Structure 1
Amino acid sequence: MKLKLIYAAMALTMGAASLKAQQVPAYLDQKQPIEVRVKDALSRMTLEEKVKLCSAQSKFSSHGVPRLGIPEIWMSDGPHGVREEILWDSWGNAEWTNDSCTAFPALTCLAATWNPKMSAIYGKAVGEEARYRRKDVLLGPGVNIYRTPLNGRNFEYMGEDPYLASIMVVPYVKGVQSNGVSACVKHYALNNQEVWRGNIDVELSDRALNEIYLPAFKAAIVDGGSWSIMGSYNKVRGEHACHNDLLLNKILKGEWKFDGCVITDWGGAHDTKEAVLNGLDIEMGSYTNGLSSGKKFAYDDYYLASAYLKGLKDGTYPMSTIEDKASRILRLIFRTAMNSDRPWGSFTNEEHYTVARTVAQEGIVLLKNEADKKKGAVLPLDASKYRSILVVGENATRRLTEGGGSSVLKVKKEVSPLAGLQAKFGDKIKYTMGYASGKPVYDREMKPGFDTDSLRKEAVKQAAEVDLIIFVGGLNKNNFQDCENADRKSLALPFGQNELINDMLKVNKNIVMVLLSGNAVEMPWIKSIPSILQAWYPGSESGNAIADVLTGEVNPSGKLPFSFPVKLTDNAAHSFGTISYPGDGVKEVYKEDILVGYRWHDTKKIPALFPFGHGLSYTQFKYGKAVADKKTISGSEELTITIPVKNVGKVKGKEVVQLYIGDEKCSVLRPVKELKSFQKIELAPGEEQTVSFKIGQDALKFFSETAHNWLAEPGAFKVYIGSSSTDIRSTVDFVLN
C-alpha cells in the first residue's frame, strides 16, 4: 500500500505520462537489491538534489528528494531514550503532550551487566520507541573509552575496556536496527573529555588508537552492521574528527569497508574542502539558527551545501565525491525511512518498563558489604530488623533523567529511590534532604535554593534517632557533574556530601550508601560505611530496581566496567601533568599510551579503590582449577580452557567469570593482563557449572607500529580467570609456537 501511494504521488508530480502503469522505478521496488535501487535513484537525481542530501533542513532532520518521493531523514537523541520533540529551527522544546518516553538505564549501567542479552533487549526496546516516534536515526550508542573519571559524558559510554565495550555494543546496534531505525555509533573518535572538546588536538600512538580507542567502534560497524556513525568534535592529529582522512577514509571506509553514513556531531564541521574530501556525508547543526536568521546563517550556507555545489560545478571538487556521499545517504534512507517492512514500534508500555527495570537490576553493583561479627552483613535488608529507616539525600527524590546535555529525557514515568523504598518498607521510611544542588542547567553552575547548613543539621538530628540510614547520594546531571559540555572539577562528591556523611557517622554508623552516578567518586569515609551500592542512573524504574537489590528480592550481579581510583592521580590520564589531561587548550598527549584503566593499575602496581570487573553478591562462588586442553598452540589452533564454578552460598545468584590473558615476554610493552573473554552464569545454591572458553591467536595479538598490523609473538602466555581483574582464582600457562 505504501509503495502504491508513493508511486501515485510521483505520478502527480512528474506527470502520469512519464510513468508506465506497470513499471515501478527500481529505486521504489523493495524486492530489488539495495545497490540497484541506489544506482537507479542516482540516475534520476539532479546535482542540486544530490548535494541537498548532505546537509540539514532543520535541527534534527536532513533533506530528502520530494520530486522523487524520497523522504527526509529524521534523527533523535539519545542512547538512553528518545528525546522530546525540538522546534524545527531552534533548540526550544516543541511542548508536545505525547512525547514522554521510557528512560532506560544509562549505558554505564548496561555495560555493568556484563550481559550481551541485556544489551539486545535494551537495543530492541529503545529502537521500538524511536520507531514509534517516527525517527529514522537514533543518535547512539556511545562507546568512547573511559579514560578519566572527570569526563562529563562517561555515563553515556560503556567503560574503560575495549573488549567489554565491543561485546556489549553489537547486540544494542542489532536490536535498534531490527526496527528499521539506524543506530548512530558515537563519538568517533577520541572524544574522551568535554573540556575544550571542540578544538583539542589529540596525539596518541597507533597502538593506543588501535588497541584501546577503536575496537568498540569497529565491532559496532563490522559485527553490528551499524548504518551510521557520528564524528566527534575534537581534532585527531591536526584534523577535526568529523572530516578526518585517517579516521574516515583510511580506517572506517577503507579498512572496515563501512557502507553507511558519517554524520557530524552538531556543529562538528569546520571546512568545506576537508568535509568534501575527508569522508563526511551529512552535516548537521553548524551553529545556525536556520532560516529565521536570514541568508547569513541559513542552512544552504553549511559547508556541504551551496559552497560544495559551487565547487562541484566549477571543478574544484570531483563529481565522484558527491556520487559517493549521495549513495551512502540513499542507502540509509532505503534501510530506514523507505523500508515499508519495518515494524510500527511501541512506546512507554509495560514491556519497556520491564526491560528498564531488568537492566537496572542486573547492572547495579554491590561494591562493599562488610559483615559485622555479631549482626552479619547489612545487606540484604530485612524489614523485621528495623523499626525506623531514614532515607537521606537529594538524589532520593531528584529526577536524574533531567539535565546532562543532549541525553536529557522527558519521561512519562520515573520511580524515585524514595518511592521504591516506601513501597517495600511502608511507614518505616522517613526522609530528609540532607544536601541540595541547583537546577540542571546545560551551560552553567546553579546555586541550590535551600539553606544547606539547615539541611545538614536536620539530617544529623534525624540520623541519631533511627535504626538505619540509607544515604542516596552521588552525582547528578548538572553542569560540571555528569553532563555534556563540561568535565567534573574534582573526584570528590559534590554539594557537601562528604561533610554530611562524616557528621552522620558520628551519631549513627549503621549506614547503607547508594551512589547514583556515571563516574567513579572518591570515598574518604569508606572504612566507616559497611555497605555501598553503585546504582548508576537506572532510568524509569530506578527506585524499584534499587529497592529490589537492597532487599534481596534481586541478588546483585553487576560488575564495574571501569576502575575506581583511590585518588585522582592514581588514574593514568592524570599521572603525567596537564599536557596529558586536559591538555594546554590546543593539544593533548595521551602519555599513558595503552595503559588505560586496570591496565595501568596492574602494570604500575597502583591498587584501585575498586578494581575493574569488581562486584559482590549475596551468595558466594567457589572456583575450581582451570584446565587447558593443550599446552601449546600454533597457527589457527584454539585453546579450550574449562573451570568449574559452584554456588556455595544459600541463595541463587549470577556470576561473571572473567578471562584475562598476559603475554609473559614481548618485544613491546604489554599490560600484565587484558580481558579477552567472559561469561555470565546463574547458579542455584549448591549448583556447579563448568565454564568453557575458547582462545585463538587473535586474543594474543598486539598492534605492531612497525608492521602496521596485528601480531602475536611466539612465547609464553598466562591465562587468568577470576571474579574481577584483581580477584584471580586460577591461572593456566601455555605457549604459542
Structure 2
Amino acid sequence: MRKKLLSLLVAVIGIGQFSLFAQTNQPIYLDLSKPIEERVEDALVRLTLEEKVALVHAQSKFSSPGVPRLGIPENWMTDGPHGIRPEVLWDEWTQAGWTNDSCIAFPALTGLAATWNPKMSAIYGKAIGEEARYRNKNVLLGPGVNIYRTPLNGRNFEYMGEDPYLASKMVVPYIQEVQKNGVAACVKHFAVNNQEIDRHTVNVNVDDRALYEIYLPAFKAAVQEGGAWAIMGAYNRYKGQWACQNEYLLQDILRKEWGFDGVVVSDWGGVNDTKQAALHGLDMEFGSWTDGLTMNVSNAYDKYYLAVPFLEMLKSGEISEEVLDEKVRNILKLTFRTTMNPNRPYGSFGTKEHGDVARQIAEEGIVLLKNDKNVLPLDLSKTRKIAVIGENAIKHMTVGGGSSSLKAKYEISPLEGIKNRVGDAAEVVYARGYVGHVKVEQDGLKGGQDLTDNRSVQELTDEALQVARDADYVIFIGGLNKSDYQDSEGHDRKTLGLPYGQDELIEKLAQVNPNFVYVNISGNAVAMPWVKSVPAILQAWFLGSEAGNAIASILVGDTNPSGKLPFTFPIKLTDIGAHALPDAYPGDGEVYYKEGLFVGYRWLDREKIKPLFGFGHGLSYTSFEYGKATTDKKQMSESDKLTISISVKNTGNRAGSEIVQLYISDKKSYLPRPVKELKDFAKVYLEAGEEKTIRFTIDKTALSFFDDKKHDWVAEAGDFIALVGSSSTDIKSQVKFTLK
C-alpha cells in the first residue's frame, strides 16, 4: 500500500525520484534517471489488456483514463489554440459553471501569422502553455496549420495563412514554448482539411506535388523542427480513407518518412471504423458518437471504436496485441513528457503579464492596408470629435466560432479602447450603423451581451450619417464575426462580401466625411467594392482580450503598424484557383484540388491577376528604401550555400519595423513551378534614418521542388532569380544566380 501511495503521489504532484526509491523495489517507470524508452517498456508490461485498451479512448469529453493502480495519471485535453477553453461537464458540452476558468484570450492565429515574427510565436506559446499548465491540462489542442486555400473556409482564422514557408516558420517556436511547460502541443488538422462544408465526409483529391509542397510542410516542420508531442487527425477523407485512420498520412508519411514519435489524437468524432483506426496509426480516440449515440448518453465511451469493439478484436486474435502496445507506448511517452515530468513548472493563469503578451501580439499583427493622404494616425491635437460606427466596435468576439470559443477574463472592445486612449482629448460618439447577430451563445457559454436593436435599417443609417457629418474623423469598425457562415467552425462563408449591408453603408459614410477609416475585423479576406472611396483601411483580426487597446494604439500612432498579410485579398472569388476552376470547391462528396500547388499568390502570379491586397502586403507610418540585392557568389553547388544581401533604410521621421521578404524564381524546370515562392523573411526594426543590411542564406532546399514520380525533392541545375521586396506584389530588387 505504501508503494502504491508513493506512486500516486509522484503522478499527481509531478515531483521526481524520491531518495526513498533507492531503498525500495520501485518500478523502473518511476525511476527518472532511466531513459523514457526504458520507463515506457517497464510500465507497458505491468498493464493488463483491459487497462491498455482503456488508455486509447476517452472517458469524458476532454479526458482519457490513467491507471490508478500504477499511479499513471489521466490525460486532460483542452482547446486552444487561442486560449484555454472553460470547463464543461463530464459527459456534456454544457458549461461546468466554474468561477475560476476565465482565461486570457490571445489573438487568433491569423493575427499571429500577420506579425511575420517568430519571436511573437515564442511568447504566444510560452503564455498559452503557462495557462494550460496552470489548469492542469497536458495536451493543448493546437496550433492549427491548415493552408488557406479559399477565403470562404470558416476556420481560416485558426490557421497561419496561405504560404507553407510562413506557416512553418511561425508554428515551430509556438510548439517549443508550449511544451517547455510540460504541455503537449497537438498540431491540427492532419491533413488537407481546408473547408467546413461536408467536412465529416468529403474526400479530398490532391496530387502529391501539391500535398508535399503546399499542404504538408508546416506539419513536417512541427514534427521535425518543433518536436511536437501530438498530432490531431482531420475529419475529411483522403485517398478514400478518413484522415484519423489514414494509412498513407499517419503511417507512411508521419511515422515512416518524418519519424514522428508522439501521439496521434483523433478529432472529436473523427473515427469511423475500429479496424482501420487500429491498424492505420491512430493512438487516442475522442468524441466519437457510435451506434447512434448522441452527445449526452452516459457510458458511451465503452462503445467507442477503440473501446469494447477493439478489445473484442484483440481477444479473438483478429488484431495483434502488438498493435495495441504501439499505441500505449506513445501514450505512456506523452504521460512521461507531461504529467509525470518532475521538472514541469506550475504555470500561471489570467495574469497581467499574459494580457500584455496578448496586446503586444495584437499590435504587431494589425495590418495597415491603405493610408491615402496620411489620414492615419489620428491627429488628436486638431481633433474635436471622433465618430465610431459599426457593430463590431462593441461586439465581443471571444465567444463563438466553434472549438476556439473562450470564456475570457476580460475583453476590451474597440469602442472602449478608443475612448480609453482618447480620453479628454476629443469627444468620442458612437452609432450602431447596422445590426448583425445580436446574441452569441455556444455550449451554454454566453457572451454577456444583448445587442438587440429593433430600429430599421433606415433609422440606423440616418443616425450613422448624422454623427459622421459632424465628426473630424469617422472610424467604421465592421467586417465579420464568429457567427455561423462567417468565421466559424462547422460552416463556410457563403460569399466574399461583407454581411448586414455594410458595403452600402460604408459607401455612404465615405461620401460625407473624407477622414474615413475602415477597420476590418475578420480572419478571412473580404471584398471591398468601395476601396477607392475609403482613404484608410486597417486589418485587425480577432485580437482577443486586448483587441480594443491594440486597435486604439495603432489608430492614434502610439504603435507604428508593422503587420503584413499572411494571405491574399482577392478582388473577387474567381480570382482564386479553387473558385476559378469547376468542381474545385466545395465538391459533392468529392473535392478536386485542380489548382494543384498554385494556391494564393502562386495562382494570381501565374494568371497575372492583380489582387486587392497582395500576400505580404502591409504599410507603415514611416517609409523604407531598399538598396540593390547582391549575392556572395554567382554559382552554387548542391552542397553549397548562397547569401543574398540587401540594405534597407528608414527614410521617414519615426521608428518602425519592415518585413523584408525573399522569393525565389526558377527560370526553367521540367515540371511546372510557381512564378516565385517565399523562401525567407526578416523583420527588422529601424530608427528614423537608420539603415541595416539584411542577409538571407539559402541552400538547395530553397530551390527544390517535389517530383511526384520519383517521390523525392529535386534541385534542378539552372538559373534562378532571388527577388527581395516588401510583399509578393512589391518586389524592390532582384539578382540572378545559378545552381551547378
**TM-score > 0.5, shorter chain as reference:** yes
Alpha-carbon spacing, 1:357–1:10, altered in 2? closer, same or farther (3 Å): closer
Structure 1 residue 182: Cα displacement: 0.4
Give the Cα separation in 2 of the matches to 1:692 and 1:166.
20
Match of 1:681 among 680, 684, 687: 684
Aligned length: 718
Preserved CA contact (<8 Å) 2:91 2:297: no
Structure 2 counterpart of 1:650: 653
Q: Percent identity?
A: 60
Structure 1 residue 644: Cα displacement: 0.7
Preserved CA contact (<8 Å) 1:158 1:165: yes
Give the alignment of 1:435-514 within 5 angstroms. Answer: 435-438=434-437, 439-440=439-440, 449-453=453-457, 454-514=459-519
The 3-state SS of whatever aligns with 2:512 is coil
Give the Cα separation in 1 of the matches to 2:474 and 2:6.
63
Match of 2:587 among 583, 587, 594: 583
Structure 2 counterpart of 1:336: 338
The 3-state SS of whatever aligns with 2:132 is helix
Structure 2 counterpart of 1:6: 6
Structure 2 counterpart of 1:374: none
Unaligned runs of 5+ in 1: 12-18, 372-376
Give the Cα separation in 2 of the matches to 1:272 and 1:449.
51
AA paired with 1:575?
A
Give the Cα separation in 2 of the matches to 1:645 and 1:550.
25
Match of 1:515 among 515, 520, 527: 520
Preserved CA contact (<8 Å) 1:87 1:93: yes
Q: Does 1:124 find its partner at 2:126?
A: yes
Give the alignment of 1:118-197 within 5 angstroms. Answer: 118-197=120-199
Structure 1 residue 271: Cα displacement: 0.2
AA paired with 2:165?
Y
Structure 1 residue 319: Cα displacement: 1.7
Structure 2 counterpart of 1:543: 548
Preserved CA contact (<8 Å) 1:291 1:299: no
Alpha-carbon spacing, 1:490–1:199, altered in 2? closer, same or farther (3 Å): same
The 3-state SS of whatever aligns with 2:198 is coil
Give the Cα separation in 1 of the matches to 2:392 and 2:251.
45
Give the Cα separation in 1 of the matches to 2:440 and 2:229.
33
The 3-state SS of whatever aligns with 1:352 is helix
Structure 1 residue 509: Cα displacement: 2.9
Give the Cα separation in 1 of the matches to 2:371 and 2:3.
60
Give the Cα separation in 1 of the matches to 2:27 and 2:581.
61
Match of 1:208 among 207, 210, 215: 210
Alpha-carbon spacing, 1:154–1:649, altered in 2? closer, same or farther (3 Å): same
Alpha-carbon spacing, 1:10–1:679, altered in 2? closer, same or farther (3 Å): closer
Structure 1 counterpart of 2:732: 729
AA paired with 2:7?
Y
Structure 1 counterpart of 2:611: 608
Give the Cα separation in 1 of the matches to 2:95 and 2:29.
36
The 3-state SS of whatever aligns with 1:559 is coil
The 3-state SS of whatever aligns with 1:732 is strand
Match of 2:563 among 537, 558, 561: 558
Q: Does 1:325 find its partner at 2:327?
A: yes
Structure 1 residue 393: Cα displacement: 0.7
Q: Does 1:404 find its partner at 2:401?
A: yes
Structure 1 residue 264: Cα displacement: 0.5
Structure 1 residue 456: Cα displacement: 2.0
Structure 1 counterpart of 2:16: none
Give the Cα separation in 2 of the matches to 1:25 and 1:485.
46
Alpha-carbon spacing, 1:468–1:711, altered in 2? closer, same or farther (3 Å): same
Alpha-carbon spacing, 1:233–1:8, altered in 2? closer, same or farther (3 Å): closer
Structure 1 residue 457: Cα displacement: 2.1
Structure 1 counterpart of 2:17: none
Match of 2:642 among 639, 652, 664: 639
Structure 1 residue 257: Cα displacement: 0.8
Structure 1 residue 623: Cα displacement: 0.5
Structure 1 residue 294: Cα displacement: 5.2
Preserved CA contact (<8 Å) 2:661 2:682: yes
Q: Does 1:433 find its partner at 2:432?
A: yes
Structure 2 counterpart of 1:671: 674
Structure 1 residue 488: Cα displacement: 0.4
Preserved CA contact (<8 Å) 1:563 1:612: yes
Q: Does 1:378 find its partner at 2:375?
A: yes
CA deviation profile, 1:572-613 (whole Å, cap 9, x unmatched):
110112x100001x1000000000000011111011100000
Structure 1 residue 505: Cα displacement: 2.5
AA paired with 1:576?
L
Structure 1 residue 6: Cα displacement: 3.4
Give the Cα separation in 2 of the matches to 1:550 and 1:483.
27
AA paired with 2:708?
E
Preserved CA contact (<8 Å) 1:703 1:711: yes
AA paired with 1:520?
A
Preserved CA contact (<8 Å) 1:435 1:452: no
Structure 1 residue 386: Cα displacement: 1.6
Give the Cα separation in 2 of the matches to 1:208 and 1:274.
26
Alpha-carbon spacing, 1:5–1:171, altered in 2? closer, same or farther (3 Å): farther
AA paired with 2:183?
V
Give the Cα separation in 1 of the matches to 2:231 and 2:396.
30
Structure 2 counterpart of 1:393: 390
Preserved CA contact (<8 Å) 1:576 1:591: yes
Preserved CA contact (<8 Å) 1:3 1:28: no
Structure 2 counterpart of 1:420: 417
More off after superposition, 504-513 vs 307-316: 504-513
Instruction: Give the TM-score, by structure 2 length.
Output: 0.95
Structure 2 counterpart of 1:700: 703
Preserved CA contact (<8 Å) 2:405 2:442: no
Alpha-carbon spacing, 1:6–1:494, altered in 2? closer, same or farther (3 Å): farther
Preserved CA contact (<8 Å) 1:436 1:452: no
Structure 1 counterpart of 2:447: none
Give the Cα separation in 2 of the matches to 1:678 and 1:10.
45
Preserved CA contact (<8 Å) 2:7 2:70: no
Structure 1 residue 340: Cα displacement: 2.3
CA deviation profile, 1:325-354 (whole Å, cap 9, x unmatched):
000000001111111210000011111011
The 3-state SS of whatever aligns with 2:421 is helix
Q: Does 1:718 find its partner at 2:715?
A: no
Give the alignment of 1:26-41 within 5 angstroms. Answer: 26-41=28-43
Structure 1 residue 5: Cα displacement: 5.1
The 3-state SS of whatever aligns with 1:121 is helix
Give the Cα separation in 2 of the matches to 1:567 and 1:20.
70
The 3-state SS of whatever aligns with 1:640 is strand
Indicate the RMSD between aligned Cα atoms, in angstroms: 1.8
The 3-state SS of whatever aligns with 1:610 is coil
Structure 1 residue 463: Cα displacement: 1.5
Alpha-carbon spacing, 1:280–1:83, altered in 2? closer, same or farther (3 Å): same
AA paired with 2:190?
Y
Structure 1 residue 420: Cα displacement: 0.9
Preserved CA contact (<8 Å) 1:365 1:615: yes
The 3-state SS of whatever aligns with 2:727 is coil
Structure 1 residue 461: Cα displacement: 2.0
Structure 1 residue 9: Cα displacement: 6.5
Preserved CA contact (<8 Å) 2:8 2:70: no
Alpha-carbon spacing, 1:197–1:441, altered in 2? closer, same or farther (3 Å): farther
Q: Does 1:595 find its partner at 2:592?
A: no
The 3-state SS of whatever aligns with 1:58 is coil
The 3-state SS of whatever aligns with 1:220 is helix
Give the Cα separation in 1 of the matches to 2:314 and 2:517.
65
Structure 1 residue 503: Cα displacement: 2.1
Preserved CA contact (<8 Å) 1:441 1:478: no
Alpha-carbon spacing, 1:581–1:292, altered in 2? closer, same or farther (3 Å): closer
